[in-house]
Amino acid sequence: MDKNTSWKEGHIINPKKVQVKLMKGLLDLIVLQYLNGESMHGYKMIKKIRKEFGVYFGPSTIYPLLTDLEKKGHVRSDWDMESDRPRKVYSLTTEGRSLLNFTEDSLNFICTKIGTEGTNKKTSVVNIPRPTLQPLLRRIDRPKIQI
């Protein structure tokens, strides 16, 4: 590489891959946030994630995550027998709400650190508009209601 060629020029950044990787890391947070707002079945979560973030996670990703969250006591499930077909509906538990609050606080702390220390504000990740992250960051920034 000569002195006129930057490292960035030699690599192609695939924004979709970066978004999917980031979403995978935040998927449990997103699911907990959805369940904090309302109880829902897995397929509804899949549709909401795709609509709000533009990323598709199928049943083979969402349902094992929900099963894991349920085993850990963060969500509970009940069968809805009143719909056209029986569906397992998930809701947030008190432990899940505590995990959600802790995770949101931790992510806010990380975003603050990225945006204020050791980075150039003009190119900071936090200051660059990212449509796929905006719904998540808006929910994280909301005032917390103590129960």
Q: Between 52 and 5, where is the model more confident? A: 52
Residue 41 has pLDDT above 80, yes or no: yes
- Verdict on whether the full-model pTM lies above 0.75: no
Domains and CATH numbers, the chain: 15-119 (1.10.10.10)
Q: How confident is the model at residue 139 (pLDDT cuts 50, 70, 90)?
A: low
Residue 53 has pLDDT above 60, yes or no: yes
User: Which tokens is 39 given?
Assistant: 């109880």
* Nearest alpha-carbon partner for 33 in 83, 99, 85: 99
Strand 40-41 and strand 75-80: the pairing is: unpaired
Question: What CA–CA distance (Å, rounded) separates 91 from 94?
Answer: 10
* Nearest alpha-carbon partner for 88 in 48, 42, 49: 42
Candidate from 3-12, 37-46, 73-82 with smallest mean pLDDT: 3-12
Q: Which helix (H) or strand (E) holds 41?
A: strand 40-41
For the chain, the distance separating the N- and C-terminal CA atoms, rounded to the nearest angstrom, is 58
